[in-house]
Amino acid sequence: NVFVYCYGTKIHGVYSLSRTTSVENISVNTPGSFSLEQNYPNPFNPFTTISFNIQVPSFTSLKIYDVVGRETATLVNKNLSAGSYEVKFDASQVPSGVYFYTLQTAHYSETKKMILTK
């Protein structure tokens, strides 16, 4: 199963649309636990991959935030089946800097840091 998302970003009051971001279910086996992996590569320019595991079917969101807590992108915002997922993030439309990504479900929440260098 491949799901494709487009998202917009708001920088200095101006919205811009990024390139397509995809979410791919890479495993049919049910993971033993929820987890959010460190993105790779990190630091990155402009593409990075974020992997995560969903233990039970759940409404899932994966969002990117800048250092002051403003939401920069929503990569996932839907019900997902249990499984392992990879999300490709294209940051070509956002400035260099430190960003945080948060995975949230009804049963799990975790945040990690990533660095975009241009």
Question: pLDDT tens digits, residue range 2-55?
Answer: 444 444 444 444 444 444 455 555 555 666 789 999 999 999 999 999 999 999
User: Where do the domains of the chain lie?
Assistant: 2-116
- The CATH code belonging to domain 2-116 is 2.60.40.1930
What proportion of the chain, given as a percentage, has pLDDT over 70?
74
Q: What per-residue confidence (pLDDT) applies to 29?
A: 60
Within 8 A by CB and 6+ apart from 14, the residues are: none
Per the DSSP assignment, residues forming a β-bridge with 112 are 101
For the chain, give the longest Cα–Cα distance. Answer: 43
Q: What is the mean pLDDT of the chain?
A: 83
Query: What pTM value is reported for the model?
Result: 0.76
Indicate the DSSP class of residue 44.
Answer: B
| Whether pLDDT at 89 is above 80 | yes
